[in-house]
Structures are given as structure tokens and as C-alpha cells.
Structure 1
Amino acid sequence: MEVSKTNVESIIALKSAILQSRYRAATLVNKELLMLYFAVGKFISIKVKEEKWGAKVLDNLSTDLQIELPGLRGFSATNMKRMRFFFESWETYIAISPSLTVQLQAVDLQEIIFSPSVTVQLEKSFNNVSFTHHIEILQRAKSIDEKVFYIQKTASEFWSLSTLKNHLNNQTFQKTGSLPNNFLKTISNDDIRQKALQSFKDEYLLDFINIEDVDDTNERVLESEIVQNIKKFLMSLGSDFAFIGNQYRLIIEEEEYFIDLLFFNRKLQCLVAFELKTGKFKPEYMGKMNFYLSALDELIKQPHEQPSIGIILCKEKKNKIVEFSFRDFNKAMGVSTYKTTTSLPAAFEGLLPNAETLKKLMD
């Protein structure tokens, strides 16, 4: 049976309404949980300070709660410690109003109130982030700006816990907007320039690359690894990037030219070309990228889109050399580096043989 156009439109409208309602319901449930955990965390924090509660008390409290409320989940001794940590991490910036009763015989679950210093950044995102995500951020992020950054990103881009951990491992906050670039000179629109700075990082963690010796690898092998793991690479770039293709062909005066990786950024509304280099940055890379961007803008870019941006992704760079290389080009470009592994945690240093020793053992 063929579905009429009217029915299709009705189904789309109803589906949208149902999904929005479910999202709002989930958000409200999460908000209530966060208020509960924050209030319980405050209750436990005060008890620890005033009555010297220890780990044994929390163990007993958790057991007693299970007896009073069979099937209760989320109130293990470990999780209640997290609630205390949650409260103590945020007590400078948010509060429950009114506060707990003086006798601490009741836990007030009124609205969470944000202090003026973080109201704008937090109030729209805080309740849309799960408690598990909050704890991960609080354990790993140091400054208030970094915490707010990851909360906003998690809420707006719907990061899973594994995606959040990947960005924390990659130090996305520290690296976002720090890459050497010529955006100030080449992007006249202040809003677009600021978005461009926030869209690219100084260094990308490509820990999904499975190459024995990256230093001895040519660019095509690196490109192949990225394309085979394009979903993970897109996660490294950010949610606004859409992959167009690799070895993207341009024909100019009957000659073929190929861009390693081509993307479209929805936030910036522009094409983004990536050139891959497995060695050190060289000034001559700029001329080639400028050529590609000029061709993209004239032959590929749509009239409503912004001018293209180019990123040279290399193994190493020296910022002063990059800075000098930018000076006489009029296309927006940046230079980033990549690494394929994170450093070994300090706790494991000395416990495992180094790469050279392992190679000898294998031989």
C-alpha cells in the first residue's frame, strides 16, 4: 500500500514530536538525579567533616539503604563517595537553594543555582550531561574553563563516555584553537574566524593508526589507515565535519591534481582540505595548499559557502618556520601535528621493556 504525501509528512511531524518529548523527559530525569546526587554529596560531605564519617560508615549506610529500599541502584559506597566528590568539586560554583536543614534530618531537592561566574556557560548544558560523564570530567579536567568546555561539548555533540574519554586523552581543550594559522589575516568575518579557531587543534591523537613505524611510512599508507578508520578520525576532528573523499581529483588545464583528504565543515560552511605529511613541516607545503584552496574556491565551492580552509597535518613542526611560511599567502591555512600513541603512564614506566629491548627479544 502506497503511503500518501500527507501521511508521510504527518509521520515525520509525529516522530519529531515523540523524539523531542522523550529527550525532554530524559533530560528532566537526569536533572532530578543530578540534584539528588549533589544534595546527597553535600549531606555526606558535611557528615564527614563534622562527625568524621569514614569508609566503614558509608559501607554500612549503603547496606542499610538496600534493606530499606530493596533493588535500589546507584547508592553503593563507591558511588556515594563520587557524590561527595561531585558536590565538593562544584560547591564553589553551584548551590542548592534553600540549603540542607540545620539538623541534617532532611535532604532538600530544590533547584541547583549557578553562581554568576559560570551561569551562562553551564546552565544550558549541566543537566544534559550524565552523572558518569560529570565524574569523568571532574576527575580529568583541571580548570573551571576546561570543565565547562567538556560539559558543553558533551551536551551539544552528544558524546558517549568513550568519545569523551578519547577527547580527554587527546587533550582537546588544550589543543583546540592553538594551531599556528593565518586566520587573522585571511578571514575577515570575526564570527567565522572565531569558529575556525575553535574547529581545529594543534595536535591530533591518531591512536587507531596501525603502522609499525610511522616515521618510515609514506603519506599514502597513512592516508589509507585514516580512511579505513574514518569514523574514528571524524571523532578526532569534531562533530561538524563531514567526509567528502580521499585523493579528491581536481582537473586544471587538463592536468590532474589530488587532495589527500577533503571534508565539509557544517559550522563553518566551507570545504576543508587536509594534506598529510609523515615528516617535518616544510615551507614549500604552503604553496601547494594555497594552490589547492584557490582551485577549490573557483571550481568546487558553492556560491553560499565560505572560502575553503587548508590544514597541513604533519609529524613535526617548528612554529617559527610555520609563521614565516604563512606571511605572503591569502588563503586560510593552519598546520597541525599528529601522534599515534599516548605516552606510557608514569606508574608503568620501568615495568615494561622499551621498544629497542622488545625488538631484540623478538629477533
Structure 2
Amino acid sequence: MKPINTEQNATEEKLYTKAISIVDTGRQKIVEAIYSESTKSYYLLGKLIVEEEQGGQAKAEYGKQVVEGLAKRLTLRYGRGFSKSTLKDCRSFYQKYDLGKSQSLTGELNFRLSFTHYTYLIRLDNEEMKFYEQYAIDNRLSVRALQKAVQNFVIARVTEGSKALSTTEIKPKDIIKDPYILDFLGLDESQHTDEKVLEHKLVEHLEKFLLELGRGFAFVGRQYRLTVSEDSFYADLVFYNIPLKSYVIIELKTRKLQHQDLGQLQMYVNYFDQEIKDINDNDTIGILLCRDKNEKVVEYTLPKNNKQIFASKYKLYLPSKQELEDELEEQMMLNGIETKTNKENT
């Protein structure tokens, strides 16, 4: 017999999660409509400048005159927002952006980010620009969050060996990062942190933590009570991933992972699968978020066909690009994926 309070809690959380999805989707469509029209106007300004410059005789000097003259007149008419640097960004935006990718099925220009997003994106190389544009759309990133994602070298951490998020055939392993970067917590890497403090900080900075987790995560609760007969257990953090239609349990360990930790998490996952999730939910996912881990301990503890339990490290500082690349390569080697280093050594 299922505990009544647990069933009621789960039902309320599912209703809340679905309500969030409806409201957020509606608001996002409004934002995207505003972005589309506003960004399109800057794109067309860039097109106008490029076409005018191409019609001039001495292109470099004439182009400078076009931008300076237009900036002055537009600023007099509309005020701020049309400086020389802005119009140069408009020009670069038009020149670099993939026109075909910005068009809808009807042939209309359809931008889903603000012009400020694109002024940052056009400074990246083509591959990174395409990746981070889609990443920003999928995760609804602000410009500041987009800049942070680039600095964190997210392109190397999102799905091992893959550089794009897919909305089709997504698997649990596709949402897992290793490591998770928690530099926004303001905790000292050199000092030991109590697990309760780490949990409190993550909830305090929940919006930033959701961003680091990735797309489609909704917060369900902290210290989620699991009642087994007369015994009670508490899962540190519980989320629901909307694209996967799965509950995600995160257990925190501010020390090196031990095999017993994975057994504890496995019990929580099994409980959710049997007592909480309904017929429309997929299998529950468990993430053991730890200070450090021995990959072999993880390998020998979890079954070979494991698709639900994952162990990831966290870092309280922003690693260098080289550190993240090394971390990614190590993870790829452990999963039997050929790396650039492997190729060079063969």
C-alpha cells in the first residue's frame, strides 16, 4: 500500500510541473515574437549597408562614410541604439549569419534570439556559432548566461562526442555533464564544504543551477521524503526533466565517491520507479554529484547495462579550456570513444 501523503505530493508536483511548462511555453513564444521582429530589423539594416557599400567605388572609405553618416542620422531620429559600432555589428551579422538557417518554412526571416545575443555569437567561429545559438534557444539563455556558457566551454561537455542538442531520441546519458561547474556558489575549492551547505547554496542559486544542469529541468523539491514501511529516507534534490519525461534524483557528496553511495542512490531510483512515477513517465535517473571519484569503482559497482545511474564530479571554480578538453577526452576514452589523442598514437 502506497503512503497517501507521498502519492498526493507526487500528484501535486506533476500538476505543478505541467502548469510550469504551459506558462513558460506561452511566455517564451511572446519573447520569441519580439526577438524575431527586433532582430530582423537589425539584420535588414546590415543587408542595406552591405548592398550600399558594394555599390560604392572605393569600398573601404565609402563604407566608413556610409556607416558614420547613417549612424548620425538614425541617432538624431531615434536616440540611442544606432551607434557606429552597432551598425558595424549589423553589417557583420548579415555577412556572417547563415541566411537559410534563419528562414521559416514560409521563407520569412525567423530569429529566436535578441540582436545582442547575435552580436556575441558572430564573434565565434562558424561551428561554435551554430552550436551556441541552438544551445541558447533550447535553454533560454540570457546574453550573460550565453557568455558564461562559452567561457565554460559547454560545447565540449554536452553529450560526449556530440556538439549539438537533439530534441529527438534523447537518452538519459545525453543530459549528463561531467564535470558540473558550480563556480556561481561562491564556495572555496580549497576548503571542505558540508553537504548541507552545498545543498543550501544550490537551492539559493537554483536558477543558475538549472542552467548548468541543461535544458528541460524543473525543480521538484529538496530533502524529498521516501517512506518505506516504518523507515524514512530523504533524497537531496529531485527534478523532473521534461524532454525525457523522467524524474531526476541528485545526491550530493562533498567527498570522494564510495560504492555505498551508488547503492543508496539506486534504492532511491528504484523507489521512484515503483512508487512515484506513473505510466506516462520514463525510468527515473539518478546523478551522484561528488567532489571526486574513481572511475573503476563506478564501473564495478554499476551493472554493464546501466542506463539510469550516473556519477559526475563538480568543480567550484571555472576550469581552463584545456582542463575541460582533457576531462572530456578522459570520459570519451572510458566510454570507448576514439579521441584525437588515440588517433595520433596509432
Work out whether the TM-score is over 0.5. Answer: yes
Aligned to 1:127: 111
Aligned to 2:280: 304
Aligned to 2:196: 220
Say which SS state the counterpart of residue 279 (structure 2) adopts: coil
Contact 1:271–1:308 (Cα < 8 Å) also in 2:
yes
Aligned to 2:47: 39
Contact 2:194–2:254 (Cα < 8 Å) also in 1:
yes
Instruction: Please state how far the C-alpha of 1:23 moved relative to its aligned partner.
Output: 5.8
Instruction: Please state how far the C-alpha of 1:214 moved relative to its aligned partner.
Output: 5.8
Say which SS state the counterpart of residue 136 (structure 2) adopts: helix
The amino acid of 2:40's aligned partner reads E
- The one of 145, 166, 178 equivalent to 1:163 is 145
Q: Deviations over 1:100-138 (max 9, x none)?
A: xxxxxxxxxxxxx45xxx9899x9995121111012223
Give yes or no for the alignment of 1:230 onto 2:206.
yes
Give yes or no for the alignment of 1:247 onto 2:255.
no
Alpha carbons of structure 1 residues 264 and 127: separation in structure 2 relative to 1, 3 Å: same
Q: Which has the larger radius of gyration?
A: 1
Contact 1:280–1:315 (Cα < 8 Å) also in 2:
yes
The amino acid of 1:86's aligned partner reads F
Distance 1:339 1:79 in 2: 37
Alpha carbons of structure 1 residues 119 and 289: separation in structure 2 relative to 1, 3 Å: farther
The amino acid of 2:88's aligned partner reads K
Distance 2:191 2:56 in 1: 54
Contact 2:72–2:83 (Cα < 8 Å) also in 1:
no
Distance 1:49 1:336 in 2: 59
- The one of 128, 140, 154 equivalent to 1:172 is 154
The amino acid of 1:39's aligned partner reads K
Distance 2:296 2:168 in 1: 27
Q: What is the CA RMSD across the aligned residues, in angstroms?
A: 3.9
- The one of 249, 259, 266 equivalent to 1:290 is 266
Alpha carbons of structure 1 residues 288 and 159: separation in structure 2 relative to 1, 3 Å: same
State, as a whole percentage, how many aligned pairs show the same letter.
Answer: 27
Say which SS state the counterpart of residue 291 (structure 2) adopts: strand
Unaligned runs of 5+ in 2: 1-22, 162-166, 322-346
Q: Deviations over 1:276-322 (max 9, x none)?
A: 12233334432222121111111222232111001111223454554
Alpha carbons of structure 1 residues 82 and 256: separation in structure 2 relative to 1, 3 Å: same
Unaligned runs of 5+ in 1: 1-14, 95-112, 180-189, 346-363
The amino acid of 1:76's aligned partner reads S
Distance 2:141 2:189 in 1: 31
Alpha carbons of structure 1 residues 151 and 344: separation in structure 2 relative to 1, 3 Å: closer
Contact 2:253–2:288 (Cα < 8 Å) also in 1:
yes
Give yes or no for the alignment of 1:89 onto 2:81.
no
Give yes or no for the alignment of 1:314 onto 2:290.
yes
Distance 2:109 2:244 in 1: 22
Count, aligned residues: 291
Instruction: Please state how far the C-alpha of 1:142 moved relative to its aligned partner.
Output: 3.6
Alpha carbons of structure 1 residues 161 and 23: separation in structure 2 relative to 1, 3 Å: closer
Q: Deviations over 1:255-292 (max 9, x none)?
A: 22221111111211111010112233334432222121
Contact 2:246–2:283 (Cα < 8 Å) also in 1:
yes
Distance 1:124 1:294 in 2: 49
Say which SS state the counterpart of residue 273 (structure 1) adopts: strand
Aligned to 1:5: none
Aligned to 2:60: 52
Q: Deviations over 1:120-173 (max 9, x none)?
A: 99x99951211110122233x4452x3223222433443322332333333333
Alpha carbons of structure 1 residues 296 and 154: separation in structure 2 relative to 1, 3 Å: same
The amino acid of 1:79's aligned partner reads T
Distance 1:124 1:157 in 2: 24
Higher relative contact order (CA 8 A, sep 6+): 2
- The one of 218, 221, 241 equivalent to 1:265 is 241
Distance 2:193 2:298 in 1: 23
Aligned to 1:102: none
Distance 1:124 1:339 in 2: 43
The amino acid of 2:86's aligned partner reads N
Distance 1:281 1:25 in 2: 46
Instruction: Please state how far the C-alpha of 1:78 moved relative to its aligned partner.
Output: 1.2
Aligned to 1:77: 84
Say which SS state the counterpart of residue 267 (structure 1) adopts: coil
Contact 1:261–1:274 (Cα < 8 Å) also in 2:
yes
Q: Deviations over 1:24-79 (max 9, x none)?
A: 76355235314314414634875899633399647743554348x53354331111
Instruction: Please state how far the C-alpha of 1:201 moved relative to its aligned partner.
Output: 1.8
Aligned to 2:340: none
Say which SS state the counterpart of residue 178 (structure 1) adopts: coil
